Structure 1
Amino acid sequence: MQANPTPAARPLWDISPPVHAGSPVFPGDTAYSQQWCATIGPGCPVNVSAITLSPHVGAHADAPLHYDAEGATIGDVSLEAFLGPCRVIHAIGRGPLIAWEHIAHAVDASLPQRVLVRTYETMPVDRWDGALAAYAPATIERLADLGVLLVGIDTASIDPADSKTLDSHQVIRRRGLRVLENLVLDGVPEGDYELIALPLKLTTADASPVRAVLRALP
């Protein structure tokens, strides 16, 4: 009897930017820093470090607490939205707000509950972009109407960098959606994937870093 062949591994796309001391942060936010608390040597068998960073450094998931004083912390948010089928839609060079007309070409009756929008040809992982593209609030409203649970983007925010009202975040709050920001979608073709981007169980935090990946569907 022949053994069952090992299933071929499904291709993965790592859509998380590198996190280090040079990673760009929102102006005024806490940059990544690291120091060594212990190093391998006589009497010490391990390296141990301490890190300081905003939970919004790199690819991250916002908690409702980030935009709602009474909102849930990231540790209390259900993981359902951060794991499952998603669609990557290209709106490269569009903006400053991603309007419905920029993504309508990829929206149909089979739209998954997770939508990631690529706006950069090459995401600037080494510098802050104050002119980042963001979602138009009406676009998120229409996605929510279609049953979308999570929206993501390859910029630092779903709202313009200089916004004081955070209109798209307020749509997220009101409609109960989840959000991923600072993704790297360079080289990811439009289409459907499995999203895996689980936040840490930080019980008092307003956001969490994620190691976001896309996996080809079986």
Structure 2
Amino acid sequence: MSRPVGTGEWVDLSQLMYEGMPRALPESQVCVTPQYVETGPPESAVRITHLTLSTHVGTHVDAALHFLPGGKSIDEYPVDAFTGPGVVVDARRDGVVPVTRAEIEAMDLDVREGDIVFFCFGYGRRFGTPAYRDHPYLGDGVADWLVERGVSMVGVDTTTPDLGGAHRPPDYPYPVHMTLLPRDILIVEHLGPRLEELVGRRVEINAVPLPIRGGDGAPAPVIARVLEEETP
């Protein structure tokens, strides 16, 4: 069966990469170092930029290996695992407020087997600000609900779909990661501000990451467009 195809403008759902961008660990600082080399045609200036970064800064995809020893690395997933139809859930709210299973069920969402589900908390526009770290998250039972519907990928416009690092109790179990990744349901984090343009819509999504051999995750330029069936 062929997948539905989107139409119209592709919307860039990625965050811009830059030095000093938000990161989970201090040692994950991004470094962008240009170098000019003595080659090329006359009157040119051949520039090569050296990029140093963690696989989990900026808009990126988590592979199972990120949490599970022996889990799949990012290069072991077929490319089709990163693309396909999906839905953008309007979960906009302020602060460390969970989305509950009861809330999701009451939305009567059109989530189909194999869908990619992106949750828009409205935090993509807060990227790089102090408020970005105190973000909403997926509460108890939401990951199970997603598994029950057979989704293929889950994404958020925050640092993580789990409770943010500054608010976790000791021995926090990471319920979203530990429910989704063992089932090879991929996780996308740090989606950008344009996700808000697609809330409530069915979309075609392309989140193909860098194919890093043995990678526990990888940066991904995520794009999406409204599906034809949704276009008037």
TM-score scaled by length of structure 2: 0.81
Paired residues for 1:57-96 under 5 Å: 57-93=57-93, 96=97
The number of equivalent residue pairs is 211
Q: 1:111 to 1:99 in 2, by over 3 A?
A: farther
Residue 47 of structure 1 aligns to a residue whose secondary structure is: strand
Confirm whether residue 24 of structure 1 aligns to residue 12 of structure 2: no
CA contact (8 A) 1:192 1:217 kept: yes
Q: How does 1:1-218 map to 2 (within 5 A)?
A: 10-39=8-37, 45-93=45-93, 96-104=97-105, 105-108=107-110, 110=112, 113-120=115-122, 123-127=125-129, 129-162=132-165, 163=168, 164-184=172-192, 185-218=195-228
- Which 4+ residue blocks in structure 1 deviate beyond 6 angstroms? 40-44
Q: Tell me the amino acid that sits aligned with residue 217 of structure 1.
A: L
Instruction: Return the offset for 1:13.
Output: 1.1
* Bigger mean CA offset, 26-35 vs 174-183: 26-35
| 1:8-48 CA distance string (max 9 Å, x none) | x6122111011111321114351211112325787975210
* Farther off after superposition, 57-66 or 75-84: 75-84
In structure 1, list runs of 5 or more residues that go unmatched.
1-8
- Once the two structures are TM-superposed, the CA of residue 171 in structure 1 deviates from its matched residue by 0.2
The Cα offsets for residues 65-98 of structure 1, whole Å up to 9 and x where unpaired, read as 1111221211112222310101001111165322
| Structure whose residues are more often helix by fraction | 2
Counterpart amino acid of residue 76 in structure 2: D
Unaligned runs of 5+ in 2: 1-6
Change (3 A) 1:212 1:109: closer
Q: How far apart are 1:172 and its partner, in Å?
A: 1.0
> Percent identical across equivalent pairs?
23
8 Å Cα contact 2:63/2:184 also seen in 1: no
Native 8 Å contact 1:24 1:126 kept in 2? yes
CA contact (8 A) 2:161 2:176 kept: yes
Secondary structure of the 1:214 match is strand
Alpha-carbon distance in structure 2 between the residues aligned to 1:78 and 1:127: 35
